[in-house]
Amino acid sequence: MVFTDIATRTYNHNWRLDPIVRSLLDTDFYKLLMLQMIRQLHPQVNATFELINRTRSVRLADIIDEAELRAQLDHARSLRFGKKELIWLAGNSFYGRRQMFSPEFIAWLGEFRLPEYELHRRDGQYELRFHGPWTHTMMWEIPALAIINELRSRAGMKGRGRFELDVLYARAKAKLWEKVERLSALPDLVISDFGTRRRHGFLWQRWCVEALKEGLGERFIGSSNVLLAMDADLEAIGTNAHELPMVYAALADGEEAVASAPYRVLEDWQAHYGGNLLIALPDAFGTASFLRHAPEWVADWTGFRPDSAPPIEGGEQIIRWWQDKGRDPRTKLLIFSDGMDIDSIEATYRHFHGRVRMSFGWGTNLTNDFRGCAPFATDDLDPISLVCKVVEANGRPAVKLSDNPAKATGTPAEIERYLRIFGEAGRQTAEVLV
Amino acid sequence: MVFTDIATRTYNHNWRLDPIVRSLLDTDFYKLLMLQMIRQLHPQVNATFELINRTRSVRLADIIDEAELRAQLDHARSLRFGKKELIWLAGNSFYGRRQMFSPEFIAWLGEFRLPEYELHRRDGQYELRFHGPWTHTMMWEIPALAIINELRSRAGMKGRGRFELDVLYARAKAKLWEKVERLSALPDLVISDFGTRRRHGFLWQRWCVEALKEGLGERFIGSSNVLLAMDADLEAIGTNAHELPMVYAALADGEEAVASAPYRVLEDWQAHYGGNLLIALPDAFGTASFLRHAPEWVADWTGFRPDSAPPIEGGEQIIRWWQDKGRDPRTKLLIFSDGMDIDSIEATYRHFHGRVRMSFGWGTNLTNDFRGCAPFATDDLDPISLVCKVVEANGRPAVKLSDNPAKATGTPAEIERYLRIFGEAGRQTAEVLV
């Protein structure tokens, strides 16, 4: 006789909702680091975040049911940090430091909930915006992206047979494991999971993290996903994001203040954090400009996270700058995190090996690479380039120039203004796939 | 909260035995066809079957626990044909024919059980023999092989972690599906599962059959496994095996009778079966000799199953013979079943396409190809060449010469005698991998 657990089966066929985000810790670690600082220094700033689908050809509003999307967003809004989660945040060491988060911040988190959202459909896309205090809207970025990406995955799998899904996941697992085997040939590799926002799904991200842990051992240093880090006793990885210089620049009065905004971010950051958290993100308004005008002390920081220049060129540019400043790059850290995949990780590792410390933040191509995995050809599961960016701060437009003009955000007029301030040196357009 | 079905978990950790063979229908269809004829014509013949591990480097007795082996063999002996199974055998059409099995044979099967076995260890191998009436010992071949192969698989997986096993099966699935995709590019392919005896495991064979069904549709014509055919409403596929000419020759008095034994098998066979079951197995004592001395009427048979010559050479040899006999090969059928895999299937298909009807019986490389699939290198799961052959009939030694001397069985003296009778023409040694 075949035994079927009738309660489980009945539940599986009747649940009201299969929540995508089930914990407020299911977010990227750097959000919490930034949030603690923002709450202290900028509690009154309002910031608007907005969903931007750079892959316009994928008409998300035609693919994802609006009622389902609302149900998931509403479910995320119902979440609170759990008691166990807050105890862990308070008691765990992060980046070798105890009490990274102040008791007062932890207490504030205990009251936190995600703010309202504004959702419309236009031209086959969703317009999804979050208005309100920066301390609240910024926390939507990761869950909003994870929800939309997973709803798209689910839509792409809807109606597929049990066997098809079996082959799909078998091939995705085999594909990832081939990558892990190639990575395991790099003895000094340091790599972490940065794939929360773009993941195929939560359970899949968890599998990917497990695969890196099993296959790479100590070379896999952790996950940007706080929930996975907690559950698997991994390090939570991450530092800071573009939203800091973008908001600082948006709030700045006058061109000089805009030009110095990126460095004021670093000043504030180093007042809060130290050590391996002193990683500068140089490309918000172009890396060349950032380096040229950077104060001397920026060279004392631990490293950089080049996030839009081609990794080898971007890394070389920073190494030259350190050398010009009389620093030894072998003591410095470069974190590569822009659309990395097995080929670019291997090439970058081999190029810089021995010349600089390196770490890789592996995102979309770790947690959402189903290309060619479906047993019958489809591109419904190919990753898209979806971001959720700050677009306004206290009513003023926010801008990102990036080293790659295809990744710039902001109104054309504001982008023009920023280009006049920061210059165009070193920017080059590359296709943004993920 | 995580729900665990406690009863299932407890059962999984405590079962007395996880039976490998759970039904007497879990065997190859041709066994039943042969058995019906043997029972009618040779009910008094005793035949000894014996396990032969051609892959001597794999020391089965060091790998498989003897108590476990005995428990599985004993469990198989406890089986009877079920009521539903007998009704299906009686009521189903096989090869387009109703009542393939006589009511009297079906009634006899209702009383059938596997006879005793004799098991010893020697030099790291198991000596496993089945003595008794041919009508009973012959039914041990498939379950004995399936049991030993699956016990070896289980030993190879013992102690591996949950994640390792997950990657193992994911890669095996991905590997098979790549083969299925390549096969699906062959529009006139006709293929069936012949993998019961060499399978990694029963559940894995079932998955493989499902994969062929999903991926190849009508081009997948069925399975040699009667149980899977019944359960999945597939055609049961198979005709006859070497044991028939081997026993007929062993029982023959005098060289002339030995020489004509293969044709007496065919005479008896065609008195019982017709149509697509008229498939001659020409290689028991060498295909060249078989064809040279074959009576004219053999050319009227539907086709041949070349089973030890290289497929293209073996097929060409038979096509020439048909042409010499004035037959049109395009009306004839060749069934290729000797260690086929994706490359040889493609090559054979392309070579003969349009010149002869073809069908492929895909065995070991369908249901037991785990080479390179384990996440950490091992050859414990690589298939081996294990057979269970008739070695004596009524106390007289049985011999198989084969087109490939590496596949010959029998005592050296008897092999010599058979070679004098049948000659050595066309035999060529090739490594036997599976």
B61-74 pLDDT, tens per residue?
999 999 999 999 99
Q: DSSP class of residue B398? A: P
Tell me what pLDDT residue B10 has: 85
What is the average pLDDT across A296-305? 98
* φ and ψ at residue A252, rounded to 5 degrees: -70, 140
Q: Does A171 touch chain B (CB under 8 A)?
A: yes
Whether the per-residue pLDDT at A434 is higher than 90: the answer is: no
CA gap A64, B381 in Å, rounded: 44
Q: State the nearest Cα–Cα gap between B167 and chain A, in angstroms.
A: 7
Q: Which domain holds residue A107?
A: 6-422
What is the average pLDDT across B331-342? 97
Of B163, B166, B173, which is closest to A167 when you measure between CB atoms? Answer: B173
**Residue written as token pair 């075949």:** A2
- The residues with which B121 forms a beta bridge, in sequence order, are B126
Of A5, A173, A375, which is closest to B170 when you measure between CB atoms? Answer: A173
- The residues with which B126 forms a beta bridge, in sequence order, are B121
Q: State the nearest Cα–Cα gap between A11 and chain B, in angstroms.
A: 11
Residues of A in contact with B170 (CB under 8 A): 169-171, 173-174, 177
The total of structural domains in chain B comes to: 1
Any idea what the CATH number is for the domain that residue B150 is in? 3.20.140.10
Of A8, A163, A177, which is closest to B210 when you measure between CB atoms? Answer: A163
Q: What is the CA radius of gyration of chain A?
A: 21
Of A166, A170, A214, which is closest to B163 when you measure between CB atoms? Answer: A214
Q: Are residues A174 and B171, on separate chains, in Cβ contact within 8 Å?
A: yes
Q: Does B154 touch chain A (CB under 8 A)?
A: no
In a domain, A166, yes or no: yes
Q: Are residues A375 and B163, on separate chains, in Cβ contact within 8 Å?
A: no
Size of interface A-B (CB pairs under 8 A): 55
Q: State the nearest Cα–Cα gap between B346 and chain A, in angstroms.
A: 20
In a domain, B431, yes or no: no
Tell me what pLDDT residue A12 has: 85
- The residues with which A357 forms a beta bridge, in sequence order, are A333
Q: Are residues A177 and B171, on separate chains, in Cβ contact within 8 Å?
A: yes
In a domain, A62, yes or no: yes
What is the average pLDDT across A258-284? 97
A contact test, residue of B22, B171, B203, B204 with most A CBs within 10 A: B171
Which residue in chain A is spatially nearest to B9 when comparing CA positions? A5
Cα–Cα nearest to A64, from A140, A142, A144:
A144
Q: Does A164 touch chain B (CB under 8 A)?
A: yes
In a domain, B20, yes or no: yes
Cα–Cα nearest to B368, from B75, B145, B213:
B145
Whether the per-residue pLDDT at A17 is higher than 80: the answer is: yes
Question: What's the distance, CA B226 to chain centroid?
Answer: 12
Q: Are residues B177 and A375, on separate chains, in Cβ contact within 8 Å?
A: yes
Please report the residues numbered 20 through 79 in chain A whose beta carbons come closer than 8 angstroms to any beta carbon of chain B: none
Query: Using one digit for the tens of pLDDT, what is the confidence trace for A212-260?
Result: 999 999 999 999 999 999 999 999 999 999 999 999 999 999 999 999 9
Q: Which two tokens stand for residue A227?
A: 């929930």
Query: Using one digit for the tens of pLDDT, what is the confidence trace for B140-162?
Result: 999 999 999 999 999 999 999 99
Percent of the residues in chain B that have a pLDDT greater than 90, as a whole number = 94
CA gap B364, B378 in Å, rounded: 18
Residues of A in contact with B173 (CB under 8 A): 166-167, 170-171, 174
Please report the residues numbered 374 through 393 in chain B whose beta carbons come closer than 8 angstroms to any beta carbon of chain A: 375
Of B8, B167, B211, which is closest to A173 when you measure between CB atoms? Answer: B167
- Exposed e or buried b per residue across B4-15, where buried means at least 16 C-beta atoms within 10 angstroms of its C-beta: eeeeeeeeeeee
In a domain, B433, yes or no: no
In a domain, A432, yes or no: no
On whether the pTM is more than 0.90, the answer is yes
Cα–Cα nearest to A335, from A362, A354, A369:
A362
Of A8, A164, A173, which is closest to B5 when you measure between CB atoms? Answer: A8
Query: Using one digit for the tens of pLDDT, what is the confidence trace for B118-140?
Result: 999 999 999 999 999 999 999 99
Cα–Cα nearest to B272, from B242, B249, B239, B246:
B239
CA dihedral sign, ordered A17, A23, A24, A28? negative
Query: CB neighbours (10 Å) of residue A43?
Result: 11
pLDDT band at A295 (very low <50, low <70, confident <90, very high): very high
